[in-house]
Structure formats: C-alpha cells, structure tokens
Structure 1
Amino acid sequence: MNWNDLERHFSAARLGRYRVARGGDAAKALADYAGNVLLSEGMLPMLNVLEIALRNGIHTRLSAHYGRADWWEAWVGHSVFSWQNKEIAQAKAKLVRRCEPQTPDKLLAELTLGFWSSLFNTQFQPVLWKDLRLVFARCPKSQRQRHTISTALNQIRDLRNRVFHHEPLLWLTPTLLEQHRVGVEVIHWIDPQLEQWLVQYDRLPAIWAEWQAAA
C-alpha cells in the first residue's frame, strides 16, 4: 500500500510523526511505522511474563499477610486504599456484567498493571512494603528499596501503555531496548529461572537490532 492509502486508514496525525522524523521521506517513514509494529509485538513476551508473575507474587504475599485469599476485602473502609478499592469495585462489576464468578483468580486478572504498581507507592510503605519486598526475593539488598521497585514498575507501566495504545517506540528516552532491560531485570528479581525461560521467546532485542541496522 502507498502512503496515501495507509494515511487514510491510520490517520495523517499518526503517520505524520514518522514522516517528520524522517525529514519528509515517506518511504523511510513507512519502514519505521512497520518497524514500530514489530517492536510492539516483540515487547509482548516480556510484558506478559512480568505482569502475570508480579500480580501472582503480590497475591501470594498479601494472602499470607492477611490470612485470606480475598485479601482486598480487608481494605474495605480504609481511606488509604480508597483508589484501590474503587479499582476492585470496577473489576467486580465487570465480572458481574459477564456473569462470571468473583473468584480470586478472576478478580486478579481484571486488575490493571497500574493497580499492582500502585501498591508500591509511598503511602503503602508502612503497611505493605515489609511483605511486598519478598516478591523480589532475588533483588540485591542494596537495590531492594521501595522507591527503586516503584520507579521500575512505573516505567514499565508507562511503556506497556504506549505499546498497547500503539504509540511510537522508536525514539524513546531511555531507548526501548534500555526500558526492556529494566523489565527483564525486574523479572530476574522475582525469579532468575523465569528470566531464563523468557529468553527463548523474547525477540525484542533481535527486532531492535534489525531496525537499528536498517535505520
């Protein structure tokens, strides 16, 4: 398809950013757009592994802390968890609309990465950090600080949102490859064996290298 056809489907505003970056060269801009699609695809394995391992690790620790699988019910009426309680209520409502049971597994899957990363915010250090730090059992003690974990998770959350909203990934600062490495490091902190399992499916470094070579 030519530039005009793709612009009709993808919008002038979306494609225009690529053309500007290439000094008006439509051919290079289209190649970059296609490369961005492949980079988005390449990010999915790391994001998948990180988000699922993170939420299940948090679930395990909070279930033990509160002595119940539905640990979120212990937050009802506590103002410090007001935003989290709203997110949980919305997740429950989605399950109700779909006529699905409100089991822990179902509810966990409905909650966003923003929800999970929020549990490492400053206000939760006194009430959650002692337990949640254990999710990252292989993180060196010098780095296993709440603000370090929070910063990494917020960076990955923002990156995930860019990927899922089909935004440009080519010109990020830090680069996409550097941000991908942060995600892999977090997975390592959770379990180095999980990181090794991911390697065989993680094509992002190779796709990045191909794009860099073509650029």
Structure 2
Amino acid sequence: MTSNPSTGFAQLEQWFSSPRMSTYGRYSEPEAFYIWNTRLSKAYLEDIQHVEVLLRNRIDNQLSDARGPRWFEDASYFRFTDQFKKAVTTAKRRAGARHSPGKIIAELTFDTWRFLLARRYKTTLWPILLRGLPNLVADGLGQEDFEAHVAVIYGLRNRCAHHEPLVHSDPLTEANQLDKYDSSLFHVAHWIDEDAARWIKKNSRVPGIRSRRPA
C-alpha cells in the first residue's frame, strides 16, 4: 500500500497541512493510511454516483408521470420551499438557454433530491414517490426509513467530496461506520431497483479496498 521509498510524515504535513494529516499521525504508517483513505473515498464516490442517479431518475419519473415533465415548476401544488426554487433557477442557468426538463434534472444536486424526501412533503410528494418504491413497501417501511438512509449517503458523500477521513482510531468503530454506509447504499438502491442494487454491489471497489486496510 505504501509507496517505495516511504515518504516522511513531515513531508506529507508540508504538502497537505498538519491539521489534515493529524488523523493519520497516530498510525505507525501514516502514509499507508492516508492513501488507503483516499482510495476508499473515491470508491465510495463511485457507488454514491450510481445511487444518486437512480434516486433522481426515480423521483423525476414518478413526479413526471403525476404532474408532467416540468413538475419542478409546480410550486403551488407541491408547496416547494424557496430553497428548492432557487436550486431550480440555478439548474436552469447551468442548463443553458434551450434547457430541456431532462437537462435541468441533471443539473440539480444531491442535496436537492435529499431534501425533497423531508417530512414536509409527506402529504404531497411522498405518496407519489412511494408508488415507485415497491420494495420499500414490501419491507414494511416508509418515508422516515427511506429518508434516513438517504441522509446517511448524503453525509458520506460530503465526507468523501471534502476529503474528510473515513479512518477511525478504533478499528471496530470504523468498521461499524463503514458497514452502515454500505448498508444504506445497498438498501436505497434495492428499494429503487433490486437489479440495479445487485449490479452496483457487484461492481463496487469498496469491499476490495476495505479488505486491504493497513494494519
């Protein structure tokens, strides 16, 4: 896992800052843990990307069937917040002058989709979305369960995107947290499409990288 020859910790601190490297300084091989953490973060981002696209497409498909392809402009019916309206305005600007509904949907960020699952939409958006989540219904679960798992993925996405550590000083605590991330990714994908969930799991690099954790 470590490069050859090994880079000194002082050099890593100089390159990446002492505060960032402080998490890794407690290990006998800080470079190995830093590289492992980086690779694990990137592998998780791949899985998150797949689940995010699944999520946004399922939300878009359900709401388009119910209210038309420009459902995101149906503010009076869905009682969208000002935050959501601003997100749509930003997405339209990014999509360009001749934006199609599909292009606008693609420009909306993960946090937008995550917050559309909030309890405030339980009587407007959620009944429509639930019809597209038969596996969630089969498991006897509902809005709170789905939102909670998406929130876990959203938190993981932010940690990975902002280069925050996934390692923990206690290996058992670390393993339990990573298991929680893995579970949420699989369950959200499964509730949307079980075949897609199996495909994501089959192609994930996370298990292999986790198995190569430095001692």
TM-score of the two chains, using structure 2 as the length reference: 0.86
Offset at 1:79? 5.3
Q: How does 1:64-213 map to 2 (within 5 A)?
A: 64-66=65-67, 68-75=68-75, 80-96=80-96, 101-171=98-168, 174-211=176-213
In 2, Cα distance between equivalents of 1:208 and 1:196: 19
The percent of aligned pairs where both chains have the same amino acid is 27
Offset at 1:120? 1.2
| Number of the residue aligned with 2:31 | 30
In 1, Cα distance between equivalents of 2:92 and 2:72: 12
* SS of residue matched to 1:200: helix
| Alpha-carbon contact 2:136-2:142 (below 8 Å) kept | no
| Number of the residue aligned with 1:9 | 15
| Number of the residue aligned with 2:45 | 44
In 1, Cα distance between equivalents of 2:87 and 2:114: 13
**Shift in alpha-carbon separation, 1:160–1:143, aligned structure 2, 3 A:** farther
* SS of residue matched to 1:169: coil
Unaligned ranges ≥5, structure 2 = 1-6, 169-173
Unaligned ranges ≥5, structure 1 = none
Paired positions, count: 204
TM-score of the two chains, using structure 1 as the length reference: 0.86
Deviates more, 1:4-13 or 1:73-82: 73-82
**Shift in alpha-carbon separation, 1:101–1:6, aligned structure 2, 3 A:** farther
In 1, Cα distance between equivalents of 2:176 and 2:92: 37
Offset at 1:92? 1.5
**Shift in alpha-carbon separation, 1:142–1:181, aligned structure 2, 3 A:** closer
